[in-house]
Amino acid sequence: MSTKLRRVLVVFTLFVAFLQPSDAFAYGRESEANVWGAVYATSVSNTPLTQGPSPKYVLEKKSTIFVKYIDFPDWAKNEFQLAVDVWAANFASTVPINIEVSWTSIATPGVLGQARPESLRSEFTGAPDSTLSYPIALANAISGRDLNQNRAEILIDVNSNTTWYRPDTGRSISRNEFDLESVFLHEIAHGLGFLSSDHFEDNPTKPNYGKITLDDPTPFDAFAVTFEGKRLADYQSGSPELQTAVTSRLEWVGELGIQANGGVRPLLHTPNPYVEGSSVSHLDENTFANTGINSVMTPGIAPAEIYHQPGPLVLAMMDDMRGKPSSGLAKVVPQSVKSVKALISDSSALIYFGLPENNREAQVTEYRIKNLKTGITKKFSSSPANFTGLKNGTAYTFSITAVNEVGQSEAKTTTPITPSATWKKTILDGAADARYLSTATFGSNPALLYSNSKSGELILSTWNGKKWVKNVVDGTGGDEGQTTNPISGVTTMCANTVDKKPLLHIFYSEPVDQDLRYATFDGKNFTYEIVDGNAPTVNDYRDANRTKTNGKLSTSMACVADGRGVQVFYRDDTQGILLGAAKLSGALDWVYELVDGDLVADGRSDGNVAFALDAYSDGKKTWVLYDSMRPVDNSRDAKFGEIRLAVRSTITARTWNYKTLDSTSTAPFVPGYDVDITPSRTGVNATWLITPVANVPNPLQIRWVNVEKSGSAKTISVPNFGTPDKFLTGDGKTTIFNCQERLCALDTATSKVTLVSKEQNPDGVKSAWVLINKTRYLVAGIKGQLTLLRP
């Protein structure tokens, strides 16, 4: 190669000119959603009186919507379900949508109903515009991830004082009654994202008291423009200009909405004076009155006004918000990015950074990240950035610069990191993601229990010394007690010997019935039963007579089995308590017990217990490790936590000895989030996660202790590997944990941390240890495949 050509190639590698999307995943930034979209009662109907019953929607569902009713009459539940079915057929999301709806008195005169997202989310992977705050249901739909981790996505209030039409009476609607299904169609739209975040600040303690604010612009705000062409999202919160904009003409500029409106920009509702919950977040009343089904998102609904679908215009506008709006005009040079950090990966670095403080005014177009060791610069559209092409064992430092049409920010520099190789991988089942995973020793060979999210099956794979033998446990139905509901919940598995033959005990749940299901496997045949959860009534925690209960038992579970029998421990979400069920060897019936969470007496706790749970038995003693959480303010996140240990030498109920291993009362940290208890050569090791109170609900450190000795616990942080998180699994020497949505390994003797896998999974990666032909492996779901790993 000539010197001249060599120089050309070197210059080319120093600057990569194309913008690179990141292949790392970010949950993004959560912010409060404190703006309700309301629908008001009006006196004049927009549409002719509609008499027919609601049509039955047989379209293939595009999403699954679950509803929690609060103080709701049964007839109203039927009306809400009709609206739910309509939106499930029209709003696409692979992530289930949870709605909490309350039948309540609304103080604001004339309001029929109001709704808001549970939260807003920005800067998440897949966000069309990282500067905007997406209502959480829309953010989940776009990202394909449950970003708010099983919380409700939409909150709705309906005014119980309204004169509602009751279709269950068999008569037609009268001219003084309001149709409930129509109101619900309207309010669900607000909850899904048909909502501006403009708000009149009436809190005198806030800086913009008495002014119109727009603190977290939504995509709805980015598609709303003034007659001058300026996006509503670009106005400064609390400014006089914003006050003028929300009371002047605003038009929708999304292409799909314009097409659905006959090529004309849809006009938004901007009355003067401004009306909280009504202004901007609706179609203009005068323009869209009497336009049939496209009138549903005008600000008011009249008596006898009935809708059975949201209309093509609203659906088109909702689809617009899944795309990237036109960028606003950059006014200033970007300030520097915030909170920069580089994390260790395999032949690469994961680089995280926060948006510049003036991002709304700056309209950043790209981020340039420079490898300060090599001089190579790459462009990225958002954080996190996966900077590839590095050499393992070599230290690197990076600088990050924000760029827009006006100029570029000052660079911010990361601390040095040294990439390292991950563990070797072997795929066991390429079709199963193993999101839920348990292992046990069946006889002298390993057994793997794992889920397949695509098929809904729970699979058991056993090693016979030469190959894996796979069986479907449940999820496809059957005539022996199986379920047809998909198995997508926690599992636990343990084994013992019965009549000199090995027997597997498999416990699992599914999200529909949420019962504690049980299967046994003797190497040839399965048996099935429901251990708990399907009783006709709740077994109250104050009742000393412990029987089956009717509750939600799908949050956590752990089982142990030995020569005495099998024990399973599980959280009852309905009452926030830790339950147990045991079956002695040779017995036919289960014996039920309440382990903890009922009261402060005999060493027990009345905290909300066992969000995280693990158990171990050596054949003589049983150890159960779990957390106990208490909220101490009005937030949803607990600010007080404990790690608790229950130990006993029998299987008899009420023979536990309790101990608190860690507590917020002794230090300003909240322990919990996940737990692991594992035997070691010197005793029994308990491991859990902790975080400073100010950082709740995100764990920051790992803590562990030998519960059979009197020594103090050890604690570490892993800043070069990212945030530690569930799931924990130990083998007595090494504890595996999630580190920035990947897998890392902690040597508990030396406190050394290494990277196990670089593939990220925002749902967390469940893993477990197995021994195959005397060699120890880790098994986990990596990139949607059941995988064996070893150093």
Q: Which residue segments constitute the domains of the chain, with CATH numbers given?
A: 32-320 (no CATH), 335-413 (2.60.40.10), 424-432+521-790 (2.130.10)
C-alpha–C-alpha distance, residues 149 and 764, integer Å: 11
Predicted pLDDT of residue 362? 87
Predicted pLDDT of residue 741? 92
Predicted pLDDT of residue 637? 67
The mean pLDDT value for 736-744 works out to: 96
The mean pLDDT value for 697-724 works out to: 93
The mean pLDDT value for 187-206 works out to: 93
Predicted pLDDT of residue 24? 53
The mean pLDDT value for 233-256 works out to: 95
CB-based contacts of 690, cutoff 8 Å, min separation 6 = 662, 669, 670, 671, 672, 673, 699, 700, 701, 702, 703, 715
Instruction: Read off the tokens for 336.
Output: 């520097």
Q: Is the Cβ–Cβ distance between 667 and 691 less than 8 Å?
A: no
- Lowest-pLDDT range, 12-26, 179-193, 576-590? 12-26
Predicted pLDDT of residue 7? 28
Instruction: Read off the tokens for 789.
Output: 């790993």
The verdict on whether omega for the bond into residue 384 sits within 30 degrees of 0, i.e. cis, is yes
- Lowest-pLDDT range, 38-47, 48-57, 186-195, 421-430? 48-57
Alpha carbon 786 to chain centroid distance?
22
Is the pLDDT at 202 greater than 60? The verdict is yes
Predicted pLDDT of residue 600? 84
Percent of the chain scoring above 70 in pLDDT: 94
Is the pLDDT at 473 greater than 60? The verdict is yes
C-alpha–C-alpha distance, residues 21 and 450, integer Å: 32
The mean pLDDT value for 14-19 works out to: 37
Is the pLDDT at 116 greater than 50? The verdict is yes
Using only the alpha carbons of the chain, give its radius of gyration: 29
Q: Is the Cβ–Cβ distance between 780 and 438 less than 8 Å?
A: no
Predicted pLDDT of residue 1? 36
Work out the mean pLDDT of the chain and round it to a whole number.
90
Predicted pLDDT of residue 499? 87
The verdict on whether omega for the bond into residue 727 sits within 30 degrees of 0, i.e. cis, is yes
Look up the pTM and report it.
0.80
Q: Is the Cβ–Cβ distance between 445 and 770 less than 8 Å?
A: no
Highest mean pLDDT among 58-67, 90-99, 289-298: 90-99
C-alpha–C-alpha distance, residues 702 and 745, integer Å: 12
Instruction: Read off the tokens for 398.
Output: 């990076």
- Lowest-pLDDT range, 41-45, 594-598, 717-721, 739-743? 41-45
What confidence tens digit (pLDDT) does each residue in 326-340 have? Answer: 887 788 999 999 999
The mean pLDDT value for 656-667 works out to: 92
Is the pLDDT at 405 greater than 70? The verdict is yes
Predicted pLDDT of residue 291? 83
Q: 706 vs 58, 676, 684, CA distance in Å?
A: 58, 12, 6
Is the pLDDT at 12 greater than 80? The verdict is no
Q: What is the dihedral of CA 614, 619, 621, 623, to 10 degrees?
A: 0
Is the pLDDT at 451 greater than 90? The verdict is yes
Write the DSSP assignment of 680-701 as a string of letters. Answer: ETTEEEEEEEEEEGGGTTS--E
DSSP H or E run through 400? strand 398-403
C-alpha–C-alpha distance, residues 311 and 316, integer Å: 9
Residue 724 three-state SS: strand
Predicted pLDDT of residue 21? 42
Predicted pLDDT of residue 45? 53
Which band of pLDDT confidence, cut at 50, 70 and 90, is reported for residue 636?
A: low
Q: 18 vs 365, 378, 384, 403, 695, CA distance in Å?
A: 12, 8, 17, 14, 37
Q: Is the Cβ–Cβ distance between 179 and 173 less than 8 Å?
A: yes
Which band of pLDDT confidence, cut at 50, 70 and 90, is reported for residue 9?
A: very low
Alpha carbon 19 to chain centroid distance?
29
Predicted pLDDT of residue 2? 35
C-alpha–C-alpha distance, residues 283 and 625, integer Å: 55
Q: Is the Cβ–Cβ distance between 50 and 82 less than 8 Å?
A: no
Is the pLDDT at 780 greater than 70? The verdict is yes
- Lowest-pLDDT range, 299-313, 625-639, 735-749, 761-775? 625-639
What confidence tens digit (pLDDT) does each residue in 33-81 have? Answer: 989 999 999 875 545 444 344 444 444 679 999 999 999 999 999 999 9
Predicted pLDDT of residue 582? 96
Predicted pLDDT of residue 19? 45
The mean pLDDT value for 557-576 works out to: 96
Point out which residues pair with 725 in neighbouring strands: 738
